Amino acid sequence: MKIDSPTWVDVLYQNIWPPHIVNYNNWPQNPPEYRKANDEYCKYLVPLVDRLFEYLSTGLDLEKNVLKEALGGENMTMLLKINYYPPCPRPDLALGVAPHTDMCTVTLLVPNDVPGLQILKDDHWIDVKYNPNSIIMNIGDQLEISSNGKYKSVLHRTTVNKDRTRMSWPVFCEPPEDLVIGPLPQLISVENPAKFKSKNYKDYAYCKLNKIPQ
Ligand SMILES: O=C(O)CCC(=O)C(=O)O
Ligand SMILES: [Fe+2]
């Protein structure tokens, strides 16, 4: 599957995604207004996530519903986090968030226009460009595990800016906590054995947050 081909992005934009809602400028200034904005955002995220999982499933040569079902189906939850990175007098000495992978299935993120997100590729930190009216998708650990490593959970970090405040609004798509996730049986064989343990998401999260080996 060509995940970066313009065709599927076009499809998402034309069929689902109203560009006006993506830009960070549409987020409210005050927390009490977040409930409404969040509800509206969620209305668009749910079909977007469905569509993404269909593409991701097809990319593994599986029926399009398989991946989403394996990761919780309609019981998946979406967790919105708001990151706030104030200006930092010594950006050369500090990071916004330390290098990590997201432990969820996928993350959909809207940043403001202050650069800062970086991903590790071939041992180099690469800046993720700010694109107005677009969202950034990270592959998370549960997708790496269920695909038996075919999709890679992306190592990323954020830098801080000397003069400007950076903000980002990631939504983490999470499986139910008691769901056991492991490499999909369809993807493992004698030649291609499971590369990851199967465990429930709650235990996975506990180990990850407490830096206990999985
Ligand atoms: O602020 C960003 O762009 C990324 C934040 C992040 O990686 C996270 O909250 O998990
Ligand atoms: Fe992250």
Please tell me the distance from the alpha carbon of residue 88 to that of residue 71, in angstroms, as a whole number.
Answer: 39
Instruction: Tell which atom from ligand 1 comes closest to the C-alpha of 167.
Output: 1
What range does the domain containing 61 cover? 10-209
Residue 162 belongs to a domain? yes
Confidence at residue 214, expressed as pLDDT on a 0 to 100 scale: 94
Output the tens digit of pLDDT for each of the chain's 214 residues: 334 444 444 444 444 555 556 677 777 887 788 888 888 888 889 999 999 999 999 999 999 999 999 999 999 999 999 999 999 999 999 999 999 999 999 999 999 999 999 999 999 999 999 988 789 999 999 999 999 999 999 999 999 999 999 999 999 999 999 999 999 999 999 999 999 999 999 999 999 999 999 9
**Model confidence, pTM:** 0.89
Confidence at residue 154, expressed as pLDDT on a 0 to 100 scale: 97
Neighbours of 206 (CB within 10 A): 13
Residue 3 belongs to a domain? no
Please answer whether residues 112 and 128 qualify as being in contact, where contact means their C-beta atoms are separated by less than 8 angstroms: no
Ligand 1 site, residue 101, Cβ cutoff 6 A? no
Please tell me the distance from the alpha carbon of residue 107 to that of residue 105, in angstroms, as a whole number.
Answer: 7
Residue 214 belongs to a domain? no
Residue 93 belongs to a domain? yes
Residue 1 belongs to a domain? no
Tokens of 74: 């309609």
Ligand sitting nearest the alpha carbon of 170: 1
Residue 126 belongs to a domain? yes
The DSSP line for 33-95 is: GHHHHHHHHHHHHHHHHHHHHHHHHHTTTS-TTHHHHHTTGGG-EEEE--EEE---S-TTT--
Ligand 1 site, residue 117, Cβ cutoff 6 A? yes
Identify the H or E element spanning 118.
strand 117-121
Ligand 1 site, residue 83, Cβ cutoff 6 A? yes
92: CATH: 2.60.120.330
Q: From the candidates 36, 100, 162, 197, which is the catalytic residue? A: 100
- What is the interface pTM, i.e. ipTM, of the complex? 0.99
Q: From the candidates 36, 81, 152, 197, which is the catalytic residue? A: 81
Please tell me the distance from the alpha carbon of residue 78 to that of residue 41, in angstroms, as a whole number.
Answer: 11
**Terminal-to-terminal C-alpha distance of the chain:** 30
Ligand 1 site, residue 140, Cβ cutoff 6 A? no
* CA 9 / ligand 2 centre spacing (Å): 22
Residue 22 belongs to a domain? yes
Name the domain count of the chain: 1
Residue 107 belongs to a domain? yes
